[in-house]
């Protein structure tokens, strides 16, 4: 799991980024003591840093230059001070990218993932399957909808994974029971029905009504 360090003194912004990044399977740490940035950086050993410019005690340029003395870890500046001079200074200090506030969370996460892919040469920062606004994170086994995390049991996750991997097709009950059999000592038709029913209730509680449709006599399909 990739580690993201957030150096941002606006706790509302920092916590919003932390929530979104966590939902996408990243391990996140927000700096609280802005006099000990280097110490926390060394202890956390992040794969990527999001850095604000205007910080207490020392600005983001200073911390960027300090980090560059010891590490080549990617640094993305996030700042409302987005004039050309600040962008140029950030890059000259060793930043890898710059995103202006206010920003869209999905755009920020796209930049984070792109930077991780380029730096660490992995095919996908967070393997995600999307359908009708619902995001199934296969790294954390978590479903995200409208920025809310929906916790799934092991069986619920396996059912939803197969359905979303085949979102244009009807998945037979037999196929779903085969998938569940891999992890449970015994799965029968009634057990499958109970698991699907519980999963539907969780989805409906999150606003995903009729997400799983029944094809009577055949199986299920996500709609």
User: pLDDT tens digits, residue range 148-198?
Assistant: 788 899 889 999 999 998 888 999 999 998 888 775 555 677 888 999 999
When mean pLDDT is compared across 73-77, 110-114, 209-213, the lowest value belongs to 110-114
* Rounded Cα–Cα distance for residues 71 and 119 (Å): 13
pLDDT at 125: 43
Angle ∠(41,96,38) on CA atoms, nearest 5: 15
- Has residue 126 got a pLDDT over 60? no
The answer to whether the bond into 102 is cis (omega within 30° of 0) is: yes
Predicted confidence band at 207 (pLDDT cuts at 50, 70, 90)? very high
- Has residue 88 got a pLDDT over 70? yes
Average pLDDT of the chain is 87
The 3-state secondary structure of the chain reads CCEEEEECCCHHHHHHHHHHHHHCCCEEEECCCCCCHHHHHHHHCCCEEEECCCCCCCCHHHHHHHHHCCCCCCEEEEECCCCHHHHHHHHHCCCCEEEECCCCHHHHHHHHHHHHHHHHCCCCCCCEEEECCEEEECCCCEEEECCEEEECCHHHHHHHHHHHHCCCCCEEHHHHHHHHHCCCCCCCHHHHHHHHHHHHHHHHHCCCCCCEEEECCCEEEEC
* Rounded Cα–Cα distance for residues 128 and 135 (Å): 6
For strands 75-79 and 97-100, give the pairing: parallel
Task: Kindly state the average pLDDT of the residues 94-116.
Answer: 87
Tell me the backbone φ, ψ of residue 52, rounded to 5 degrees. Answer: -80, 160
Q: Which residues pair with 150 in a beta bridge?
A: 143
Task: Kindly state the average pLDDT of the residues 70-97.
Answer: 85
* Rounded Cα–Cα distance for residues 144 and 133 (Å): 9
pLDDT at 219: 94
pLDDT at 124: 43
pLDDT at 129: 78
């Amino acid at each position: 799991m990739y580690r993201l360090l957030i150096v941002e003194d606006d706790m509302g912004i920092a916590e919003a980024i932390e929530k979104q990044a966590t939902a996408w399977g990243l391990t996140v740490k927000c700096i609280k003591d802005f006099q000990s940035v280097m110490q926390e950086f060394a202890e956390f050993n992040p794969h990527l840093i999001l850095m604000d410019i205007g910080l207490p005690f020392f600005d983001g340029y200073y911390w960027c230059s300090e980090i560059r003395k010891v590490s080549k870890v990617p640094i993305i500046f996030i700042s409302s001070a987005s004039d050309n001079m600040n962008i140029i200074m950030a890059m000259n200090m060793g930043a890898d990218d710059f995103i202006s506030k206010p920003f869209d969370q999905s755009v920020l996460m796209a930049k984070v993932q792109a930077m991780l892919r380029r730096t660490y040469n992995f095919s996908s920062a967070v393997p995600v399957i999307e359908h009708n606004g619902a995001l199934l994170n296969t790294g954390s086994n978590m479903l995200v909808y409208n920025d809310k995390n929906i916790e799934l049991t092991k069986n619920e996750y396996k059912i939803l994974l197969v359905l979303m991997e085949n979102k244009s097709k009807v998945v037979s009950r037999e196929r779903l029971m085969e998938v569940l059999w891999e992890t449970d000592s015994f799965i029968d038709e009634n057990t499958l029905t109970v698991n699907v029913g519980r999963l539907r209730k969780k989805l409906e509680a999150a606003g995903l009504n009729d997400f799983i449709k029944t094809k009577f006599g055949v199986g299920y399909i996500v709609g």
